[in-house]
């Protein structure tokens, strides 16, 4: 099919996806990057954030992903990640509770401050994806 790239999304538990896509917006460790058909070969370290996959028949699917790598070669995108949660399985209220719990952490040293910031960011992203999936604004 013209204009597509094969995408495989794999976690330690299962292969979450193996389909043709037209575009992927991937959260890299240093920002979002896009993948389309005929993209140059690349191996990229994933960060934490929203993964958007666009499909040839229209529509997109969103996932919360965290940690791993994305590999593009020969018109195939393989995403190996520690976590891939479909947006429809995220709960905004749970994410808000995670945010409150993270915010309550006392940052007594740099390591704890980093963990607190990461946990708050994780909760913020999850809530945003959960609410966006339901068609609502996801700001915390």
How many CB atoms within 10 Å of residue 139?
8
pLDDT tens-digit readout, 57-83? 999 999 999 999 999 999 999 999 999
5-86: CATH topology is: ATP Synthase; domain 1 (2.60.15)
Q: What is the overall mean pLDDT for the chain?
A: 92
Q: What is the pLDDT of residue 137?
A: 53
pLDDT tens-digit readout, 14-43? 999 999 999 999 999 899 999 988 888 889
65: tokens are: 């992903």
Q: What is the pTM of this model?
A: 0.88
What is the spatial distance between Cα 80 and Cα 94, in angstroms, rounded to a whole number? 26
Q: Where are the domains of the chain?
A: 5-86, 90-133
């Amino acid at each position: 099919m013209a204009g597509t790239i094969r995408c495989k999304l794999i976690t330690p538990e299962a292969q979450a996806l193996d389909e043709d896509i037209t575009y992927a917006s991937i959260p890299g460790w240093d920002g979002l990057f896009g993948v389309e058909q005929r993209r140059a070969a690349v191996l990229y370290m994933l960060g934490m954030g929203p993964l958007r996959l666009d499909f040839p028949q229209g529509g997109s699917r969103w996932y919360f992903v965290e940690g791993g790598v994305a590999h593009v070669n020969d018109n195939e995108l393989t995403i190996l990640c520690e976590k891939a949660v479909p947006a429809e399985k995220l709960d905004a209220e749970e994410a808000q509770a995670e945010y409150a719990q993270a915010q309550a952490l006392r940052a007594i040293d740099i390591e704890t401050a980093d963990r607190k910031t990461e946990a708050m960011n994780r909760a913020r992203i999850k809530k945003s994806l959960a609410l966006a999936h339901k068609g609502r604004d996801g700001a915390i």
